[in-house]
Amino acid sequence: MPKNEMPSGALILLILRVLRSGPLHGYAIAQRIHALSSEVLRVEEGSLYPALQKILLKGWVTAEWGISETNRKVRFYRLTAEGSKQLKTELSEYDRVNAAIQAILRTA
């Protein structure tokens, strides 16, 4: 469903953001984003897992074992200190760009 696809940069920002309130497993991340966006944004496996791998590589999250709500051993992704820092910069960057875009939209 292309209309709900988002650029991978934005996806990473969202993942980092939903992880700020605590570690989550992959499916929960997708669920949380879906729910928080009032069911507008749907994160597909095909974009979620590559993005997670990328974040793992960057060291913004770590993966640890935990027990899922269905009582299954799964990996939870936890935001690292570096990840929080990254989230902050990305958020302020996003705000700046967003403000600029809004300014154009208002005046043009």
The residues that touch another protein, with contacts defined as CB under 8 A, are: 25-27, 30, 45-46, 48-50, 52-54, 56-59, 63, 68, 70, 72, 74-75
Coil/strand/helix, residue 71: coil
Q: Which is nearer to another protein, 77 or 87 (CB)?
A: 77
DSSP secondary-structure letter at 70? T
Q: Residues near 13 by Cβ (< 8 Å), separated by ≥ 6?
A: 87, 90, 91, 94
Of the pair 57, 105, the CB lying nearest another protein is at 57
CB of 94 to another protein, least distance (A): 22
CB of 78 to another protein, least distance (A): 14
- Is the CB of 57 or the CB of 108 nearer to another protein? 57
Contacts of 65 by beta carbon, 8 Å cutoff, 6+ apart: 73, 74, 75, 76
Distance in Å, CB of 1 to another protein, minimum: 9
Q: Can you state the angle between helices 8-19 and 26-36, rounded to 10 degrees?
A: 100
